[in-house]
Structure 1
Amino acid sequence: MLHIGTETGSRTTATTPAATGATAPTAPTEDHGAVPCDLVTVPARQGLEAVDILRRGAAQEAVGPVLHDGACDTLGFLVPPGTAEAWDVPGSACTRTDGRGLRIPAEPPVTGSGWLLPPEEDAPVTDPAVLRAALDQAARLIEAADNCR
């Protein structure tokens, strides 16, 4: 699972059994002028559905940078700082950085991770309300597909 370590001043909230585990973080990356952000992690299947939903929407810029862990078990959506304070989506976790730690770097900030969607200037982070709606829709689609078996 993607997890930013304590040296960045992070805290994980809304953790559920589907969103546990940890990966060792890399050393903080210097990226002057980068946008601070929090990190919402979700199971890969739900995250990939949410990415598709967001990219099919009217505004393709609705989805910002997205990380994947090395095992492709989870995806991490970069969201505005402060999102973790109110994040309560079941099956996901939100790591708070207080704007002091994680900033959008050119290289993935977590050891063993990579960019599914790399950072771009015109889409710095994903809007948490839009992400919440996409994750909810993705969960419903997955449940419907699983019930058809």
Structure 2
Amino acid sequence: MGRTPAGEHDLVTVPTRTGLEAVDLLRLGEGLGPVLYDATGETLGFLVPRGTTERWDLPGSACVPAGDPGPTGADRPPVTGTGWLIAPQGAGADTTCPDRLREALRRAARTLDVLDRCRH
């Protein structure tokens, strides 16, 4: 399987807790792409196909064009101040399918909401 050329993807960012739950859900199937974490530990970012930004509308998340990894390629994350949670070499796909990601994030939010209500 070929890799998506640099700069040809967008980045969906979510709070880390929701993102980790979504990663677990997406790992149950196929097609989880590379995932970034930020230096503060507050957000995770999922690489999705270029063009997702124009149609992304999930509350609690943001979608922006991802940067170019530069001359070191996939070893260097495309966004300054981030690291790979799931590096391109270990991912099951070049990018995560936006529809699958949207559903996983919705399921993750519902699960975390239930857990939070049970704790109070």
Give the TM-score range, shorter chain.
0.7 to 0.9
The one-character-per-residue Cα deviations of 1:16-39 (angstroms, maximum 9, x if unpaired) are: xxxxxxxxxxxxxxxxx7251000
RMSD value, Cα = 1.8
Q: Deviations over 1:44-91 (max 9, x none)?
A: 00000000000023x2xx210000001110000000000010100000
Normalized against structure 2, the TM-score is what? 0.84
Unaligned runs of 5+ residues in structure 2 are none
Cα gap change, 1:43 to 1:122, in 2 (>3 Å): closer
Considering fraction of residues, name the structure with more strand. Answer: 2
**d(CA) in 1 for partners of 2:59 and 2:112?**
14
Corresponding position: 1:76 with 2:42: no
Alignment check: 8 A CA contact 1:37 1:102 kept: no
Judging by fraction of residues, say which structure has more helix: 2
SS at match of 1:141: helix
Structure 2 partner of 1:49 = 21
Q: Provide the secondary structure at the position in 2 that maps to 1:48.
A: helix
Do the aligned partners of 2:32 and 2:92 also contact (CA within 8 Å) in 1? no
Q: In the TM superposition, what is the alpha-carbon distance from 1:122 to its structure 2 partner?
A: 5.1
Deviation at 1:112, TM superposition (A): 2.2
Report the counterpart of residue 117 of structure 2 in structure 1.
147
| Structure 1 runs (4+) greater than 6 angstroms displaced | none
Work out the number of aligned pairs and report it.
111
Alignment partner of 1:106 is 2:106: no
